[in-house]
Amino acid sequence: MALFLKKKSIEPPDPLTDRELIELYRQNDDTSYIGELFNRYAHLVYGITLKYFHQEDDRREAVMQIFEKLYMALKDHEIENFKCWLYSVAKNHCLMILRKENSVSFNEQLQLKNFQQDFMDFNGNFSLNHAEDEIIDKKLPDAIKKLSDEQRICIELFYLHEKSYKEVADTTQYSMNQVKSFIQNGKRNLKLMLENTK
């Protein structure tokens, strides 16, 4: 009677969880674990950059910068849900880049007719003579920097990047009502700050 030996099938080990990869990276300082996280989530981060940047090179560079942040950040932060945390890091990184780009040519961008006209319309009786108009040109960039992050980001995207309310909502993940509120309150706060400089 022939004896048939059945080969035992070898199943591949279960892949490590995100938390296990992070813990192994912390213990061994082995960047290959971050490489695995990159393989898992690069497409997610790239998808986020699509909302913020028009140029392919800008998107790719942002993805690489975001993952480079992980080398230090994963050692400094306790992370419960890596995917959600990474989404937040990526979104904030993109918004930070936009803010820096705005500041480079901020004075030129503030001459946009839409921004000036809408700001004047909003202020109604906030009448300006030529000297006061020059004060606004000089003081407005600093005043915008003093707004809350939510108000500043929405105003910059809406006026300086000329995005619609819907585009601002899609970019920031705020609701449409929140976007409108941040812009209205931001303009009101700008009015108060500028009136105090007269």
Q: What is the CATH number of domain 105-195?
A: 1.10.10.10
pLDDT of 163 > 90? The answer is no
Interval 140-154: pLDDT, tens: 777 888 888 898 888
pLDDT of 92 > 50? The answer is yes
Instruction: Round to whole Å and give the CA distance between 198 and 194.
Output: 7
Instruction: Round to whole Å and give the CA distance between 26 and 74.
Output: 8
Query: What are the structural domain ranges in the chain?
Result: 18-103, 105-195
pTM of the model: 0.49
Interval 99-121: pLDDT, tens: 776 554 544 444 444 454 455 44
Specify the pLDDT at position 108: 45
pLDDT of 191 > 90? The answer is no
Instruction: Round to whole Å and give the CA distance between 60 and 38.
Output: 13
Interval 16-36: pLDDT, tens: 999 999 999 999 989 999 999
Amino acid at 174: Y
Domain 18-103 part of CATH 1.10.1740.10:
yes
Q: 125: Cβ–Cβ under 8 A, 6 or more apart, which residues?
A: none
